[in-house]
Amino acid sequence: MIRPDAPVLLEIRDLHARVEDKEILKGVNLTIRAGEVHAVMGRNGSGKSTLSKVLAGHPAYTVTGGSVHYRGENLLDLDPEKRARIGVFLGFQYPVEIPGVSNLEFLRVATNARRTEQGHEELDTFAFEDLVRERLKVVQMDPAFLDRSVNEGFSGGEKKRNEILQMALLEPLVAILDETDSGLDIDALRIVAAGVNQLATAENATLLITHYQRLLDAITPDYVHVMAAGRILRTGGKELALELEERGYDWVDQELAALAGEVA
Amino acid sequence: MSNAQAVGDLVSQPYKYGFVTDIETEKIAKGLSEDVVRLISSKKDEPSFLLDFRLRAYRQWLQMQEPDWARLGYPQIDYQDIIYYAAPKRQEKKASLDEVDPKLLETFDKLGIPLSEQKRLSNVAVDAVFDSVSIATTYKEKLAEHGVIFCSISEAVKEHPELIERYLGTVVPSNDNYFSALNSAVFSDGSFVFIPKGVECPMELSTYFRINSGDTGQFERTLIVAEEGASVSYLEGCTAPMFDTNQLHAAVVELVALDDASIKYSTVQNWYAGDENGVGGIYNFVTKRGQCRGERSKISWTQVETGSSITWKYPSCVLQGADSVGEFYSVALTNNCQQADTGTKMIHVGPRTRSTIVSKGISAGRSANSYRGLVQIGPKAAGAKNYSQCDSMLIGDQAAANTYPYIRSQQPQAAVEHEASTCRISEDQLFYLQSRGIGFEEAVSMMVSGFCRDVFNQLPMEFAAEADKLLALKLEGSVG
Amino acid sequence: MTASLSAPTSRAAWLERWLSQLPEPSGPLAAVQQRGRQALSQLPVPSSRVEEWRFTDLALLQDLPLTQAAGTSATAAASSDAVGLCLQLDGSTDPLAGVALPAGVQLLSESELAQGLGHTLAATGCHDHWPVELNHASAGRVLALRVSSRCKLRLELHSSVSTGLLPLRVLLVLEEKAELELCQKLEAHGSGLTSLVLEAHLARGARLDHGLVASGCSDAALLAHLAIEQEPESHVALTSVTAGWGLARLEPRLVQVDGQATSTLRGLQLVGGRQIADTHSHVLFAGPEGQLDQLHKAVAAGQGRSVFNGAVQVPRAAQRTNAAQLSRNLLLSDRARIDTKPELEIVADDVKCAHGATVSSLQTDELFYLQSRGIDAEQASGLLKRAFCEEVLRDLPAVARRWCPIEQWQLEDA
């Protein structure tokens, strides 16, 4: 839902970043307002996953230039946990398994960290159980998953549902979903997409990072951005995604080449 | 890994129990001789069978060699430079707690083990041992109503000499090894527990060991006997002040379980570990063994080892009775220059005996953490089963994790299975937790306690939280 | 294990006697012989008092005839073709006499020999090792070959002894990307000792596929040391099978000098009667990103004793090592015994190391399953035992696989 007067949640300006010695982001610009759903599309290696990692504060990525502001605050100054607590959420493409750490306890500690930041009271074990059981419905997850270790032995679909469950509990204002559709069968994709749609409000925003149109059939974006070589090459409405689907990514190369020509 | 340093810093935190109680102490002169053994015995006013036991052990000790197979590195111990008996003055007879030196009560208060009637733990009976002597035992009367004997071993020697004579040294013979011989010669105090036939001990029993003197060795001796159908859960805790010299701690613990009896023995060991350069700390050479003499008896060891400069300790089970069960659950955390060589021996003698071993080693700093275990299936142990799991977690690239599981089987109708793995706290796991709003320290601590969960689950409820807290304490510190 | 002269060790009289009866050192290995004899006169005979030899006391060697075996019976004629060599090793005659070397294979020169001999033994920590010194003291010949860069060779080595001592010494140098398939057969038909010391050095990218099949008899002993040095990107697959020896001690010792190499170890040892088989393997990762996949299997029947000790060392330099070791043991008789001990030493945090060990009899549910399909108990247990062995045998090079008549092996029951 596009409202030009809605408050800006995330403002990315000329963002450059590298991992080890390789520059991957080469000047990304993006503004996200409350109520909007954005989709960033692009080929492998275009830098879209890097963008999500940089926004969440992964220590392997170094920002070399530009800025990111979240509700006016410099996001890049903050530790990853602080970003999460103030409402920036990253749904991982490959959620990691953490043997031994119970999923329920993990969810409770995370939820309470967010609540404390918001000035709410921490939930005790019982109150949290009630909350989590209610939120499980968003992703149609079996409560048995709560008793297992974080993501350990979960199937691909279960891991992604667990991600959306965390999103439902943490209630972020900006949710970045990195390739949430990868490795999902049709049913799981439908459940995950329904969850994301259900959680979208006029106050928050969603940034979908994806390869394929099929996720966008289920979650309609307001804006589609095409990313290549570390930059956003073109921005349009949802029809841009359909165009990509039809024409493939080859034209992106041509456009890149043209761009290189201009620069030269 | 940029976080490796930070994780390393996390496991280095100041020792909280390093204070010294300023109290007048009666000590005997340094050194060990037959006269010293006689002196200890006479100070404790012991019957002759015990003096004979001590002297025999002393003579055996003289003939023995200090073991070196664990390849632990420490300077030669000068056994003549140790005080073998130290006791706070004014201890005399403590008919009631009122007569115990308030400084001592205060010390145990500070250690989180309040002894006074108002403050003491409601469901745990405590025997408090300060240097060489037991200074107080709580809930004695209540336990006595159930026929349970819980007192210091010195007291038991006086009050129940027949039980001591019958059981002492029958599980760990004095000449079992170098340190057990030394202990048998000079042991000062420790706890005695006797659970009569058919009695389920109504509360947790606990002994808290405190070394206070800087030049004194501690040689405690614990004996627990559970008669037919009896059961008990027992916990020991240990701390010591920070000295830049090393103190020797050579304890012996013997457990006897008769038919259908069960003994659960838990340890939270937090002796002073020395500083970050390995100066000071306790040398912890301990012999712990339980004998499942009876059919269907069960002995379960749970240990959380976080302290000591050197740990040499293999709580073991001799599974004699048919269908008896032995368990060993261990968490050993080493940091800085600590060395731990610990594990268990499960000796399957009787048919259908079963054992389980779960060992979790965490090594950080420049420490060395070894699991050494033996599973032995004797020719008569048809139907025996063992399952062992040994996991190591490495923090930093200078810590050592070693695994030496010995397996010997002479019985085809038995099954032994051993699994071992190593892991570390990966940057991705840390980032994942952090990206959900969980702080770095808490994330590390969650993962470490997750790694140890199978062991913590075995601790009595009252102490599981304590162990978790202790580990969290060890992990506390500033984020690097 | 070093002995100093000031503290004389208990030198066994039988060994003294044996040493004194050896012919004067001569030939290309004279210096090695000299050193070996000196070492033996100082080192204590390994006994159960030493951890490394806890279960395998070599004192029993004194009952064996240890005079050098006179002649051996040829089990295959020496031959060569474009890519293959088939040789007889008898410890005394020249195995290469009358054999044309295929292209890409050379004999090491005298100076190369002087330089190369013992290098890998030292790198794998085998110096002052009693059984190695025994070989040094007595071996009069060495088969020392180099496989040139990017060349491929198949090599078959046959040794068969009826009685006495057979000392075998092999040195193999594989240049960059050289590939060698080595099938080695050791047989003993009577009382005696077969002593094998093999050194192999693999340069970058080289590949060694070594199948060793050693079948002896109950009054024969085998002491075999396989010392292998691997440079990065090299591959070693060592599959060994021992059966029938009164005493067999096998020590595969590998070092990945700069890591980044792949080692695959497969071992199968069978004991029955009053036999002892003991494998002490040792793998050292001296650099990062090394790989080890090890499976050791043992079957113990009768009053046989099987020992396995699998040491894996991962020092600080060996980040990102991936090592897996499994020891699986079948105990078939209540008078047999299995001792197994994985031994893992790690000082590196970013590694994957796992090991496991199992000791049991045949699974009753598996037996039952077969029986419920109409197979009688004896046949069923035979099938399962063969399946157990097959997991190792299938990794032998095809030639060596044919030397394992598993159908004829008596995997006796209690």
* Helix (H) / strand (E) containing B305: strand B298-305
Average pLDDT over residues B374-388: 96
**CA dihedral sign, ordered B429, B433, B434, B438:** negative
pLDDT 10s digits, C7-63: 344 568 888 889 999 999 988 899 999 999 999 988 888 888 888 888 888 878 888
Judge whether B305 and B335 are in contact, CB under 8 Å. no
Name the pairing type of β-strands C105-107 and C262-271: unpaired
Instruction: Quote the pLDDT of residue B172.
Output: 96
Query: Residue B120 corresponds to which tokens in the numbers above?
Result: 């003491």
Instruction: Quote the pLDDT of residue B10.
Output: 54
Instruction: Quote the pLDDT of residue C8.
Output: 41
Q: Is A187 inside any structural domain?
A: yes
Burial of A147 (0-12, 13-18, 19+ CB in 10 A): exposed
Query: A11: helix, coil or strand?
Result: strand
| Interface touch C359/B414, C-beta < 8 Å | yes
Q: Higher-confidence residue: B198 or B461?
A: B198
Q: Is A115 inside any structural domain?
A: no
Chains touching chain B at 3 or more Cβ pairs under 8 angstroms? Answer: A, C
Judge whether B176 and B287 are in contact, CB under 8 Å. yes
Instruction: Quote the pLDDT of residue C414.
Output: 33
For A59, which of B3, B423, B429 is closest by C-beta distance?
B3
* Helix (H) / strand (E) containing C37: helix C30-42
CA distance A172 to A204: 7
Q: In chain C, what percentage of residues exceed pLDDT 90?
A: 68
Instruction: Quote the pLDDT of residue B1.
Output: 36
Instruction: Quote the pLDDT of residue A246.
Output: 83
Q: How far is C307 from chain B (nearest CA, A)?
A: 9
Shortest CA distance to B303 belongs to which of B330, B264, B338?
B330
Instruction: Quote the pLDDT of residue B480.
Output: 26
Confidence of residue B213 (pLDDT cuts 50, 70, 90): confident
**Chain C hits for B412, Cβ within 8 Å:** 331-334, 336, 360-361, 414
For C354, which of B379, B415, B421 is closest by C-beta distance?
B421
pLDDT 10s digits, B49-99: 999 999 999 999 999 999 888 888 888 899 999 999 887 775 554 556 666
ipTM of the complex: 0.87
For B416, which of C345, C347, C359 is closest by C-beta distance?
C359
Question: Which domain range does residue B344 map to?
Answer: 2-474
For C357, which of B4, B405, B412 is closest by C-beta distance?
B405
Residue B211 has pLDDT above 90, yes or no: no
pTM of this prediction?
0.86
**Chain C hits for B411, Cβ within 8 Å:** 331, 334
Name the pairing type of β-strands B415-424 and C352-360: antiparallel
Q: Is A135 inside any structural domain?
A: no
Residue B36 has pLDDT above 90, yes or no: yes
Segments of chain C with pLDDT less than 70: 1-11, 70-76, 407-414
Shortest CA distance to C214 belongs to which of C136, C125, C278?
C278
Provide the residue-wise pLDDT of chain A in tens; the chain has 264 residues: 788 889 999 999 999 999 988 999 999 999 999 999 999 998 888 899 999 999 999 988 999 999 999 999 999 999 899 999 999 999 999 999 888 888 998 999 899 999 999 999 999 989 999 999 999 998 888 999 999 999 999 998 899 999 999 999 999 999 999 998 888 888 889 999 999 999 999 999 999 999 888 888 889 999 999 999 999 989 999 888 888 888 877 877 787 777 776 655
Q: Is B479 inside any structural domain?
A: no
Instruction: Quote the pLDDT of residue B478.
Output: 23
Q: Is A89 inside any structural domain?
A: yes
Q: Chain A contact for B450, CB < 8 A?
A: yes
Instruction: Quote the pLDDT of residue B475.
Output: 53
* Chains C and A in direct contact, meaning 3 or more beta-carbon pairs closer than 8 angstroms: no
Q: Which of B418, B419, B425, B428 to mutate to test the interface with C (most CBs of C within 10 A)?
A: B418
Instruction: Quote the pLDDT of residue C7.
Output: 39
Judge whether B101 and B23 are in contact, CB under 8 Å. yes
Q: Is A68 inside any structural domain?
A: yes
**Chain A hits for B426, Cβ within 8 Å:** 96
Question: Which domain range does residue A227 map to?
Answer: 8-94+173-263
Shortest CA distance to B348 belongs to which of B410, B289, B405?
B410
Q: How far is B417 from chain C (nearest CA, A)?
A: 4
Instruction: Quote the pLDDT of residue B474.
Output: 62
Q: How far is B374 from chain C (nearest CA, A)?
A: 9
For A110, which of B3, B436, B452 is closest by C-beta distance?
B436
Residue B287 has pLDDT above 80, yes or no: yes
CA distance B354 to B347: 10
Residue B329 has pLDDT above 50, yes or no: yes
CA distance A50 to A40: 12
Domain count, chain A: 1
Q: Is B445 inside any structural domain?
A: yes
CA distance C148 to C106: 8
Judge whether B404 and B439 are in contact, CB under 8 Å. no
Least confident of B103-107, B198-202, C49-53, C276-280: B103-107
CA distance A63 to C384: 60
Domain count, chain B: 1
Residue B477 has pLDDT above 80, yes or no: no
Specify the CATH number for the domain of residue A34. 3.40.50.300
